[in-house]
């Protein structure tokens, strides 16, 4: 089992323990272990077999055993036992905005609800209004949450999310008190499909309430899911969820780096910072061992030459570069040289006066491409179909060798 799946299972076990009414410290321990495991790099199976999991802060002996079972066998008796206590529909209720483990526990134990259909029926009949911690407004929110869940797909295509996000950013930038406003998350990483829209704003503490009110009252907002001082969530047309976070301007570069992601990228950056004796989070840098302090940004959150597409963090590793440190730099425009590939005509260039290309033609072109196709003589004719991949590879090797 891969690390991503193990992390999700640990987090789910923490939620199931909350539904069960277990000791809060126990459920919190699973959530903590889930977050701690996200920061682990390297081969998880090797770490489990060597006992290295116990060295990870936040992972105790019993949870380490569960992780080991999941990694080696793909199953865990503790996890299976927890899942058997709750119907699948109970976990589905947690997908509704505003319904947390405590309220779902009440619905399951007191009203005996086990599915979204039963929950909707009970809310429409007014059977939830008299429950402790519920009310008429809660019933309305549950019904709107179920409807939003039906309309909303897990992912939307990038263009469908970018357009409302762009309008929202322009709207927020026009609000008094906004210092900086940018898109974050998968939208900023230009992923093909987007889960939700993440916006980040920097402002003074005294302006937060007014800006949050402006955010939730935008013309494109269909409903307000959550309204807080530093974070709010709204539902836009088409069922797209949009989150706004407000931070201080000194925290903005660090928060933009963190909330842009991806998770794998953040894990890699935290690991690199730790190697140099620093702790890195969404607020800034702090020395390891010192009290957590919110750092002041002096540079952009994006390293020189770092491209947004490089943040995928495959296999939890930063891209290689000279000396194994840092990100590879983009090639400056002044260094670009093109070797223009000249393709032979269909008859192989055997027409009278046909010119396929001779050595030296490409080097004279300063606007350049990457192939030595033009160096094939007229007598050789076009590259055979079964050798084209090899031919291109030879051309790339020659470009690297000559340093052009």
Least confident of 81-85, 101-105, 249-253, 304-308: 304-308
Is the CB of residue 290 less than 8 Å from the CB of residue 278?
A: no
**What pLDDT is attached to residue 353?**
47
Do 126 and 160 reside in the same domain of the chain?
no
At residue 181, the pLDDT reads 95
Per-residue pLDDT at 174: 94
Per-residue pLDDT, 29: 92
Q: Is the pLDDT of residue 284 over 60?
A: yes
**How far does CA 392 lie from the centroid of its chain?**
35
194/210 same-domain check? yes
- Domain stops at, among 120, 151, 182: 151
Cβ neighbours of residue 39 under 8 Å, at least 6 residues apart? 267, 270, 271
Average pLDDT over residues 25-37: 90
Range with the largest mean pLDDT of 68-72, 129-133, 305-309: 68-72
The reply to whether 48 and 97 lie within a common domain is: no
Domain termination residue (choose one: 84, 101, 117): 84
pLDDT in tens, 55-91: 888 899 999 999 999 998 888 999 999 888 888 788 8
Domain holding 26, by residue range, is: 3-84
Residue 348 and residue 402 in one domain:
yes
Q: What is the pLDDT of residue 157?
A: 85
| Helix segments in 183-235, DSSP class H | 185-188, 208-216
Residues in CB range of 341: below 8 A, 6 or more apart: 369, 371, 373, 374
pLDDT-derived band at 151 (thresholds 50, 70, 90) equals low
Residue 257 lies in a domain: no
Q: Is the pLDDT at 187 greater than 60, yes or no?
A: yes
Q: CATH no. for residue 206? A: 3.30.460.10
Q: Are 376 and 311 in contact (CB under 8 A)?
A: no
Same structural domain for residues 92 and 78? no
Preceding amide of 142 cis, omega within 30: no
208 with 271, same domain? no
Same domain flag for 71 and 113: no
More confident residue, 260 or 349: 260
How high is the pLDDT of residue 52?
86
223 and 171 in a single domain? The answer is yes
Least confident of 60-74, 200-214, 260-274, 389-403: 389-403
The answer on 300 and 340 residing in a single domain is: no
Q: Please state the rounded mean pLDDT for residues 182-202.
A: 92
Using the 3D structure, point to which of 218, 247, 276 is the last residue of a domain.
247
Predicted confidence band of residue 197 (pLDDT cuts 50, 70, 90): very high
The answer to whether residues 167 and 239 belong to one domain is: yes
What CATH code is carried by the domain that includes residue 40? Answer: 1.10.150.110
Number of domains present in the structure of the chain: 5
The pLDDT of residue 374: 41
Query: 254 near 301, Cβ under 8 Å?
Result: yes
- Mean pLDDT for the chain overall: 77
In a domain, 232, yes or no: yes
The pLDDT assigned to 99 comes to 84
Strand 241-247 versus strand 285-287 pairing type: unpaired
Residue 255, domain member (yes or no): no
Q: Quick check: 188 pLDDT over 90? A: yes
Band of the pLDDT at 152, cuts 50, 70, 90?
low
Q: Does residue 291 register a pLDDT over 50?
A: no
Minimum mean pLDDT range among 118-122, 153-157, 222-226: 153-157
Q: Considering the chain, what percentage of its residues have pLDDT values greater than 90?
A: 22
Q: pLDDT tier at 345 (50, 70, 90 boundaries)? A: low
Helix (H, G, I), strand (E, B) or coil at 143: helix
pLDDT of residue 362: 39
Does 256 fall in a domain?
Answer: no
Please give the pLDDT value at position 306: 45
- Is the per-residue pLDDT at 366 higher than 90? no
pLDDT at residue 293 is higher than 70: no
Instruction: State which of 7-21, 174-188, 268-282, 345-359 shows the largest mean pLDDT.
Output: 174-188
Answering whether pTM is above 0.75, one says no
Say whether both 77 and 11 belong to one domain. yes
């Amino acid at each position: 089992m891969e690390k991503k799946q193990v992390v999700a299972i640990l987090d789910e076990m923490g939620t199931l323990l909350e539904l069960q009414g277990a000791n809060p410290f126990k459920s919190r321990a699973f959530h903590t272990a889930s977050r701690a495991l996200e920061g682990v790099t390297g081969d998880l199976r090797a770490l489990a077999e060597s006992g290295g999991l116990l060295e990870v802060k936040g992972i105790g002996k019993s949870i380490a055993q569960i992780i080991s079972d999941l990694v080696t066998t793909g199953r865990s008796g503790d996890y299976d036992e927890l899942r058997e206590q709750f119907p699948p529909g109970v976990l589905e209720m947690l997908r509704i905005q505003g319904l947390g483990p405590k309220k779902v526990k009440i619905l399951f134990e007191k009203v005996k609800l086990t599915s979204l259909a039963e929950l909707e029926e009970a809310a429409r009949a007014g059977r939830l209004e008299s429950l402790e911690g519920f009310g008429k407004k809660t019933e309305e929110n549950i019904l709107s949450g179920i409807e939003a869940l039906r309309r909303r797909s897990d992912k939307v295509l990038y263009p469908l999310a970018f357009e409302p996000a762009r309008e929202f950013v322009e709207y927020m930038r026009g609000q008094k008190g906004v210092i900086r406003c940018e898109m974050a998350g998968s939208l900023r990483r230009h992923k093909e499909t987007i889960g939700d829209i993440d916006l980040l704003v920097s402002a003074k503490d005294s302006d937060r309430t007014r800006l949050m009110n402006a955010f939730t009252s935008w013309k494109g907002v269909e409903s307000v899911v959550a309204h807080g001082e530093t974070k709010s969530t709204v539902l836009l047309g088409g069922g797209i969820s949009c989150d706004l976070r407000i931070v201080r301007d000194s925290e903005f570069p660090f928060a933009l780096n963190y909330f842009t992601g991806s998770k794998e990228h953040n894990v890699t950056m935290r690991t690199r910072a730790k190697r140099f004796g620093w702790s890195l989070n969404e607020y800034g840098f702090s020395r390891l061992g010192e009290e957590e302090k919110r750092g002041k940004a002096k540079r952009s959150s994006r390293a020189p030459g770092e491209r947004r597409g490089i943040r995928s963090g495959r296999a939890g590793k930063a891209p290689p570069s000279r000396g194994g440190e840092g990100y590879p730099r983009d090639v400056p425009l002044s260094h670009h040289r093109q070797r223009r590939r000249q393709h032979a005509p269909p008859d192989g260039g055997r027409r009278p006066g046909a010119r396929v290309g001779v050595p030296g033609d490409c080097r004279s072109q300063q606007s350049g491409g990457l192939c030595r196709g033009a160096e094939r003589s007229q007598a050789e004719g076009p590259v055979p179909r079964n050798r084209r991949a090899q031919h291109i590879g030879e051309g790339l090797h020659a470009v690297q060798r000559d340093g052009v």
